[in-house]
Structures are given as C-alpha cells and as structure tokens.
Amino acid sequence: MPATIIIGGQWGDEGKGKITDALAERAHMVVRPNGSTNAGHTVVTDQGVFKFHLVPSGVLHPGCDCVIGAGVAVDPVQLLNEIDALRERGVDLSRLFLSDRANVILPYHPALDRAEEERRATHSIGTTLRGNGPAYSDKVGRKGIRVADLLDEAALRDRLELVVPEKRLLLAGFEDDATLDVAALAEQYIALGERLAPLVVQAEILVQDALAAGKRVIVESAQATMLDVDYGTYPYVTSSMPTAAGACQGAGIGPTQVDTVIAVYKAYTTRVGGGPFPTELHDETGQMLRDRGNEYGTTTGRPRRTGWFDAVAGSYAARLNGVTEVAVTKLDVLDTLPEIRICVGYRLDGKAIEAPPAVASVYGRVEPVYEVLPGWQADTSCATSVDDLPPNARRYLERIEELLGVPVTMIGVGPDRQQILHRPTGAAV
C-alpha cells in the first residue's frame, strides 16, 4: 500500500497536526520525517489540547505506530519531557519509535542559534532558537552526533572530542563553558541515551516493512514549503527540507512508494520570523485574523504575522510537491469579513511574474495582485458537511481550488477534532 505525505503549503502552522490526527484514525503508522523541536503541532480532543513538538500527531490513536525518522533533529531532553508529559495524561507511548540515524541537538546547538541570531542583528532570521539550524549544519558538515552514538559511550566521547573544540571557538564571548565540557556532556548524553534506548530502532526498516505488509503509512512533515531550504524564502527558511521529496528522504521511502500528497493551507496566510510576505496585513483585519485565529506560535508564543491567502506561493508549493489533495483549515476565522482578498498574481517593477523570485530582498519588493470575493458573514464553525457552508464560503474554496489546480478534500472549520468537513475528490464544494 503506498504512503500518504502531509506537508505545509505556506509558511507553516497550517494545521498539519489536526489533519494528521484525522487521517491517523485509519492509519497503521505515522512517521515524522524532518524538523526538530522548532515544530509545534496542535490537536484538540475531548481530553483537551495536545501540543506536539517531536512526537508524531498519530500518537493519540492507540493502534498507530509512531516513528521519528532519520531526517529529524532530536533534542533528547525535550523529547523525554514531551514523552513524560504525554504519559502523565494517560497517552500510551509503547508504539513510539526513534530512528538510530536521527541527529541529536546538544546544548551547544541552541547556544549557537542564539549567538548566530545576535550576530546577524538586523538581518536575523527570527528562528525558534531551538538549535535547529546549527544541528542541521553539523549534520551536512559531517560533524553531527546521532541517536546511535548516544548508545555507545566510547563513540560518543570520540565524536564530542572532535566537535566541541570548534564550538568553543564559535561561542567565545557568547556562552560560559557549561555547555562545552566533553566529560559532562558525555555523561549527560549517555544517561539520556539509556532512557531513549527502548525506543531506538532502524526506523527506515520499520517503515519499509510496514509498507511491504500493506499497512497504511502517513508521513507528517513539519514546517512548510515556503520555509524549505531550497525553495523557500532563503535565507529566511528552516534548515531542513519540508517538501514531499524531503519527507521521503527523512522517512526512508522512495517517491514510487507514495500515491497521495496532501498539502495543508490555512484559508489565509501566516508566518513567524523574518522574511518576505507579500500579502501581509498591518491593519485591523490583520489583527482580527491574529485574534480570531489565535495566531501565536505553539513553540515560542510569538505573535504570527498575518495576511491574505497567497495563491501564487500556494500554487508554486502545489506544483513542487506534486500535490494530489488540498486541506484548507481555519475557514471559520474569515466568518466575519464582508469581503475577502486572494492574491492571484505578483508584479515586480511593474511587470507580472509567475513565481516567487529567488532573492529574498527582491521577493520583498513584489506587489500582490488581488481578486476581491464577497464574504459570507455567517458562522461556519457548526457546519457538519460541505453542504452546510454558505454559498460564498463555497465560492471562496472553489476559487482556491481553481488557483491551486488541486481538489480541496478537507476543510477545517474550528480547532476541534470533529470540525473537519470531508469532501470526496471530484464532488462539488
């Protein structure tokens, strides 16, 4: 049975956790392929609100295996805290697995993240300061420490002896030496490795065996296409590859083993941190979206920047990821608006351009071309089927569908698990 990939179509926080949770009901396995504790996936259930950073959102379904794949950068302290907090709330974690190849975030990674942001000053990326960028830099620089190293004291000491002196140089003047003592780090991380050991597996084999046995596998990507290190608003991006291709790599599957790529989009746009955002609103409507949408970061609590739906960036993401289905979340946030704008084109220096430009400062100069649609000014949060939606809400979704060129099959109308409207491919909105 081929796998399903869930990715973000914008700049993150689209509600991927909610969509994964909804689909995980029928899945045997959910794999998290990328990102680190920088990610925050929220799921609202009868038992309350769950915020996941590293643990896949499928964990709330008892029959579902949850796998943290090789492409994830794992902070063991954060992972164990997350596991303890979930256990306290009665969540069964006996089916949680961790790849032995996943890279580890050590205390010097957040320290380097802070130092790097401070050095960049006015050009700071606005990272989550979780050490994500420095950990992925070490990984591709072949200086990373991986989960398997935490299970082998001699190997760990050897790796630390090699990398810590360099970190000491990079952090001179920024941090005290507490994060840079090889013996202390080795002792602490071997102890953490012992606690993680029961979860550690060759995750790619587990995933491949599940696919070979005809099990339903969902790959739940973190972050989003416009934050991708190649195709996003570089350098205002994350350091991993949150595309469908990146999800394959991080989960240990090939493109021929996937038949469904679901891109999740908010009915409007948000982003956190710096970088271009052509449809950003700095007015009352922007504040209304922030308030009604509760647009504050799951990981950092930062207020998110808000704006209209950007169908140019959206269709770019749909094409790059070979998206087969779209989920539109938070439609209800737009319920009070008399009219709604969609960005249907970009203009740069007076000329129409088709796709996001490569240089961030150029992207920052792009002017959005808007189409104005009538609002519906009615409550959509109690809709239980697409037929319950007001005609103008359906028109708005149809227009998004046309612009993205991909069918909208799921619509979120509120934070709760039940507030998702399903629509079979091909049915009218």
Q: Is 13 a residue of the active site?
A: yes
**4: nearest Cα among 322, 219, 214:** 219
DSSP secondary structure string for all residues of 201-258: E-HHHHHHHHHHTT--EEEE--S-GGG-TTTSSTTSS-SS--SHHHHHHHHT--GGGE
Between CA 354 and CA 346 the distance in angstroms is: 7
Q: Which is nearer to ligand IMP, 277 or 316 (CB)?
A: 277
In whole angstroms, the minimum distance from the beta carbon of 136 to ligand IMP comes to 8
Pick one of 15, 17, 33, 40: the residue that binds ligand IMP (CB under 6 A): 40
| 38 contributes a contact to ligand IMP by CB under 6 A | yes
Sheet holding 29-32, edge to edge: 200-201, 96-99, 65-68, 29-32, 217-220, 3-8, 258-266, 325-329, 408-412, 420-422
- Interface pattern 203-222 for ligand IMP (x via CB under 6 A): -------------------x
Pick one of 77, 114, 126, 195: the residue that binds ligand IMP (CB under 6 A): 126
Binding-site size, ligand IMP (CB under 6 A): 20
Pick one of 238, 257, 321, 409: the residue that binds ligand IMP (CB under 6 A): 238
Between CA 424 and CA 149 the distance in angstroms is: 46
> In angstroms, how far is the first alpha carbon of the chain from the final one?
29
Q: Which is nearer to ligand IMP, 109 or 216 (CB)?
A: 109
In whole angstroms, the minimum distance from the beta carbon of 110 to ligand IMP comes to 10
DSSP secondary structure string for all residues of 139-188: HHTT---BGGGGG-HHHHHHHHHHHHHHHHHHTTTTS-GGGG-HHHHHHH
- Interface pattern 272-291 for ligand IMP (x via CB under 6 A): xx------------------
Q: Strands 309-310 and 367-374, how do they pair?
A: unpaired
Distances (CA, A) of 355 to 115, 130, 262, 263, 314: 34, 31, 21, 18, 10
Residue nearest to ligand IMP (CB): 273
Q: Which is nearer to ligand IMP, 211 or 224 (CB)?
A: 224
In whole angstroms, the minimum distance from the beta carbon of 85 to ligand IMP comes to 18
In whole angstroms, the minimum distance from the beta carbon of 13 to ligand IMP comes to 5
| 128 contributes a contact to ligand IMP by CB under 6 A | yes
Q: Which stretch binds ligand IMP (CB under 6 A): 84-92, 123-131, 261-269, 353-361?
A: 123-131
In whole angstroms, the minimum distance from the beta carbon of 37 to ligand IMP comes to 9
Q: Is 41 a residue of the active site?
A: yes
**Half-sphere exposure at residue 127, Cβ-oriented, CA atoms within 13 angstroms:** 31
Active site residue ranges: 13, 41
Q: Which residues bind ligand IMP (CB under 6 A)?
A: 12-13, 38-40, 125-128, 130, 132-133, 222-223, 227, 236, 238-239, 272-273
